[in-house]
Structure 1
Amino acid sequence: MVVRVFTASSLGFMAIKKKQQDVIRFLEANKIKSEEVDITMSEEQRQWMYKNIPPEKEPVQGNPLPPQMFNGDRYCADYDSFFESKGSNTVFSFLVLKSQLASKEEP
């Protein structure tokens, strides 16, 4: 599966841009197959992202902000949850992926 990271290129908030870059860099550094989906370029993709975030993960007010991560069509989480998983070294299970070590050991 490919991890899809929903981002927004036209947001003017530097904090969000840094979070998006952090996720993309981490995935690239760990050679995790990923696809960046820019929701500012596609209304269809933006609506798909909003529709597929579980209700309990939606913000109290407004729309969910990027980055949002999915493994295929399965929702993984937002940046805060991703950051927590990095700190606890559980990113691969968090993103529903086999660990790099396990995949190297398989024939």
Structure 2
Amino acid sequence: TLRRVCSASIKKQQQDVLGFLEANKIEFEEKDIAANEENRKWMRENVPEDSRPASGNPLPPRLFNDSRYLGDYEAFFEARENNAVYAFLGLTAPPGSKVDALLVSSLQSHSALF
């Protein structure tokens, strides 16, 4: 059924985000909204109006840095594809990361122009 497909898609997206965070040793706190009404209410109240679906409630995964809303899975995926996840998460990229290498490369190419 459609509900089962949607649930499987949400689970895959959640695993994708968690896997990335764990692999990159980024500290996070996972909040289960399926089993905890308080977490579900908090998420619904803290997703900005312009980031909510036209009808119904916002679906997970949703990412926050403390109480600051960062975005949904699509925003996370786009940031990851553009090697901009640390900026998306509001974090500084660690030395030696792809983002750090891109920044150095970008700075080197800019310095060659001057």
TM-score (norm 1): 0.82
RMSD: 1.4
Pairing partner for 1:101 from 95, 99, 103: 95
Confirm or deny that 1:60 pairs with 2:54.
yes
In structure 2, the gaps of 5 or more residues are: 97-114
Give the Cα separation in 2 of the matches to 1:80 and 1:72.
20
| Aligned-pair CA distance for 1:98 | 1.0
Larger helix fraction of residues: 2
User: Which residue of structure 2 lines up, in the alignment, with residue 24 of structure 1?
Assistant: 18
Q: Which amino acid aligns with 1:65?
A: L
In structure 1, the gaps of 5 or more residues are: 1-10, 103-107
Higher relative contact order (CA closer than 8 Å, sequence separation 6+): 1
Give the Cα separation in 2 of the matches to 1:76 and 1:100.
20
Pairing partner for 1:46 from 25, 40, 48: 40
Task: Show structure 1 runs of 4+ deviating over 3 A.
Answer: none
Larger Rg, first or second structure (1 or 2)? 2
TM-score (norm 2): 0.77
| Aligned-pair CA distance for 1:17 | 0.5
Larger strand fraction of residues: 1
